[in-house]
Amino acid sequence: MKTQSSARAPRPLVGVPACTGLVGQHPFHMVGDKYIQAVRSGADAAAVLLPALGEECLEMLEHLDGILLTGSYSNIDPSHYGAAWQQDSMQTDPLRDATTLGLIRAAVTQRIPVLGICRGFQEINVALGGSLHQAVHAVAGLQDHRENKDEPLQQQYARRHPVTLQQGGQLAQLMNNALTQQVNSLHGQGVERLAPGLRVEALAPDGLIEAFSLADTNAGFLLGVQWHPEWKLAEHPFYQSIFRAFGRACRARSRARRT
């Protein structure tokens, strides 16, 4: 029998806000399996799905040790960053917007670790006061960062371009200052104006911001990445390092919360 001192500490609880949409004719709250598996295997944490219920989700924060903001086929409604719609066919998810933007601000205030991926990366920027390019490929000087949806998933998520990690940043430290890393690219939108309080962690070859963190390194763990590190996690040491760092921050929060 294990003694109390040798028993494994409970895994930290990571809240994963859901997207909403129809499955058949029924509305669903849903999260992609790849994100749940990455929380389990990459961060060694337990994923807790958060329904898109707006401010009601704030009541759950005191029970959580981290927040993972996933990618999505939907985009943030431009009204949240003071812009007009530039694409009539853009897919949005108002319930997710109503849930995640307030959740991010509260998590930062309460120093709860946050990892944002793709749409989640963009949500952090908007929640904290930044803005987005609604069509990166239409901006002079920027490349087309979208995937070819006609290709098999393995090709869509293949590494597409390098990112340059910024000297002294969290990602550079994780990779022992190996400042060039290869990433996938599956996004149509991107950061236009970086939110106050954020610092650039990585840039694409065309200068587009691909990752950021909190400028105040004492303000808690927050990392946003525009690529998808959850994909084939076991095959990519760089992606693994991101989830391990997130997991460490969540475990520190869990210990503090328990004591």
Nearest CA to 117 out of 81, 70, 59 is that of: 70
Q: Is 133 one of the annotated active-site residues of the chain?
A: no
What three-state secondary structure class fits 88?
coil
* Catalytic choice (123, 147, 201, 230): 230
Residue of 57, 210, 228, 250 marked catalytic: 228
Q: Which of 41-80 are b and which e, b meaning 16 or more Cβ less than 10 Å from the residue's Cβ?
A: ebbbbebbebbbbbeebbebbeebbbbbbbbbebbbbbeb
pLDDT (tens, 9 = 90+) of the chain, 259 residues, equals: 444 445 678 999 999 999 999 999 999 999 999 999 999 999 999 999 999 999 999 999 999 999 999 999 999 999 999 999 987 789 999 999 999 999 999 999 999 999 999 999 999 999 999 999 999 999 999 999 999 999 999 999 999 999 999 999 999 999 999 999 999 999 999 999 999 999 999 999 999 999 999 999 899 999 999 999 999 999 999 999 999 999 999 999 999 998 8
Q: Is 118 a catalytic residue?
A: yes
Q: What is the DSSP-derived secondary structure letter of residue 151?
A: S
Catalytic residue check, 19: no
Return the number of other C-beta atoms located less than 10 Å from residue 222's C-beta.
Answer: 26
Q: Which of 118, 123, 201, 210 is catalytic?
A: 118
Q: How far apart, in whole angstroms, are the C-alpha atoms of residue 240 and residue 217?
A: 21
What stretches of 129-259 show up as alpha helix (H) in DSSP?
Answer: 153-156, 170-174, 237-258
Q: Give, in words, the CATH class of 13-258.
A: alpha beta
Both tokens assigned to 86: 């530039």
- Could you tell me where the beta strands, DSSP code E, fall in the chain? 13-17, 19-23, 26-30, 46-50, 66-69, 114-117, 131-133, 161-165, 180-183, 190-193, 198-203, 209-214, 222-225
Determine contact, residues 151/219, Cβ cutoff 8 Å.
Answer: no
pTM recorded for the entire structure: 0.96
Strands (E), 111-248: 114-117, 131-133, 161-165, 180-183, 190-193, 198-203, 209-214, 222-225
- State how far the Cα of 231 lies from the Cα of 83, in Å rounded to an integer: 32
CA–CA separation, 69 vs 49, rounded Å?
A: 11
What's the rounded Cα separation, in Å, for the pair 42 and 40? 6
Helix (H, G, I), strand (E, B) or coil at 214: strand
